[in-house]
Structure 1
């Protein structure tokens, strides 16, 4: 059965950004971000004391300066790239496309309001979280937040969800081909993923007895892998390395953006950037597949600060490979997923968030 026009739509969801580089706006953004119970999953009162009493007051001025170093004339790189992505997609698909953010503006309900206002017969919206991997603090919190607004405002349309695409053949092909354009044979390749606390991995384990319970947990088949960030980033790395025919000594993976002193996923990117030159790997390329859009964590943490660390410890050459951003192949892949959705193919779609344990 063919849908009548205006019954389906798409909503892209990204992380978010401060509205400006002013300290007050960065404070507002950091408060919303860090008070998310899926980012800092401590009891509310302790989390509030930690965030508002310690982290935000000290971190906001430094973060504001970091944002100023990567801010574009048009605004936040993440916001600008997301807008461009939607504009490109809107010209290629036959359904309306909107965008929203997990933190900051626009909220999911604001985007849903706009979709429904323009399409009063809307029956289903496909939410596309722009995160390849499942993590409490990224994919899960984005979906839960969108579902919260969907329920609260009692929208008449169904909200469906694009599943994590970390091992999707099309995504691996697009990512691999993109990386291949930049590869230098005499450079070491570091896959740097956003880090998460080890407790998040354990909390997301639906079996309660697999993740981080054995050294080879990511290699032993388990239902937990559907929600295990560590397994999924390892899987992405291996698939890309196979596609690029990389030898094991030519690449490695690490985790960046550690916050606090408790154990996070290892190895730590900052530590590896210090160590690699002494190991003879003085020429380095870094790619950040946890992100599809360049943002503070790639443009400042890796391209600027990461390069500084590496070069100060004896490095000779450093290059960050940009995210997929708005390259034609990435847009074409999103277009294909949307086409599948419109045609009734549910292969890539969840009707509900499957993992209820972590929340």
Structure 2
């Protein structure tokens, strides 16, 4: 019998919510040359002597605000997604979860899949970036290289405009905003250094301030363009007027230029335009995590209200919703 398997890969999370665990996680994450793409002799002291020592306590405090009785929200949601997908696919498939950083590792997941004949891998990052998707795929290949028998591997490297993913995001927005009066929906995506877009080979004509051109062969791997493509697809499905939504990018680190506009800078600009009732959705994440629960729903909310905003509506990620599980199943079966 042909043994089929699926590997879901997400970014990862500290094992515990103490400073030692968070410090270890940050070192693992930020020393990845695809995340901080500087020469090793520059990256190592920057990460280990500057960034981590001055950041880990603040990051620990942030994690402590979202950690619940089950532990890390990202991990518990990902486990529920794994379970739901396994049930949807049936006994003909084995579904495993691997984290790029932390536990359960990609190596551990691959060890569980040694007897499979075919493997479909889905890095759970809708828009492709070398820092997330590329790093996950590289780790996958390194893990597979240690196996004697390497199965047929199919990788779904992005799904930023996949219709069922778009439907899942649109459904989550509709359910959250049902009956609410909203002036603007802000699509807030995880940011990247501008040099990552340049290194992707993007050849489109773009001022990097306004909306990117549609994705084509010139900007196939442009993360920013894929984010705008996701936004336009969701807005089209929801029939949103152009003046009712905006795009921004969050989570920047350091002083190097990151892709714009910045989420925390867009907030005051919206206030100046008379926007008071704001909803924020983050479609670069499929599971709620530090960047959505703490950065957006806690710090972002506080900033918005301090600026004079009236309502701040946090739109959860698609998480383990049935519509998202069905979308994943469809992607796997058609891979």
TM tier, smaller: over 0.9
- Deviation of residue 147 (structure 1)? 1.2
For the Cα contact (< 8 Å) 1:147–1:159, is it kept in 2? Answer: no
The answer for the alignment partner of 1:61 in structure 2 is: 57
Are residues 198 and 108 of structure 1, via their aligned partners in 2, closer, same or farther at CA, if it must alter by over 3 Å? same
Are residues 216 and 61 of structure 1, via their aligned partners in 2, closer, same or farther at CA, if it must alter by over 3 Å? closer
- Deviation of residue 330 (structure 1)? 0.4
Question: Mean Cα displacement is larger for which, 324-333 or 147-156?
Answer: 147-156
Instruction: With the length of structure 2 as denominator, give the TM-score of the two structures.
Output: 0.94
Does residue 1:14 correspond to 2:10, yes or no? yes
For the Cα contact (< 8 Å) 1:202–1:212, is it kept in 2? Answer: no
Partners of 1:211 and 1:203 in 2: how far apart? 15
- Deviation of residue 172 (structure 1)? 1.2
Are residues 106 and 215 of structure 1, via their aligned partners in 2, closer, same or farther at CA, if it must alter by over 3 Å? closer
The answer for the alignment partner of 2:66 in structure 1 is: 70
Does residue 1:203 correspond to 2:209, yes or no? no
Give the alignment partner of residue 106 of structure 1, picking from 104, 107, 127. 104
Partners of 1:211 and 1:106 in 2: how far apart? 41
The answer for the alignment partner of 1:130 in structure 2 is: 124
Give the alignment partner of residue 194 of structure 1, picking from 178, 190, 193. 190
Question: Mean Cα displacement is larger for which, 165-174 or 145-154?
Answer: 145-154
The answer for the alignment partner of 2:162 in structure 1 is: 168
Does residue 1:37 correspond to 2:26, yes or no? no
- Deviation of residue 220 (structure 1)? 6.1
Partners of 1:38 and 1:194 in 2: how far apart? 15
Aligned with 1:335: secondary structure?
helix
The answer for the alignment partner of 1:322 in structure 2 is: 316
For the Cα contact (< 8 Å) 1:150–1:159, is it kept in 2? Answer: no
The answer for the alignment partner of 1:259 in structure 2 is: 253
- Count of residue correspondences: 331
Aligned with 2:155: secondary structure?
strand
Are residues 199 and 8 of structure 1, via their aligned partners in 2, closer, same or farther at CA, if it must alter by over 3 Å? same
Partners of 1:260 and 1:274 in 2: how far apart? 21
For the Cα contact (< 8 Å) 1:174–1:329, is it kept in 2? Answer: yes
The answer for the alignment partner of 1:287 in structure 2 is: 281
Does residue 1:88 correspond to 2:73, yes or no? no
- Deviation of residue 278 (structure 1)? 2.6
For the Cα contact (< 8 Å) 2:14–2:25, is it kept in 1? Answer: yes
Are residues 316 and 213 of structure 1, via their aligned partners in 2, closer, same or farther at CA, if it must alter by over 3 Å? closer
Partners of 1:214 and 1:278 in 2: how far apart? 22
The answer for the alignment partner of 1:237 in structure 2 is: 231
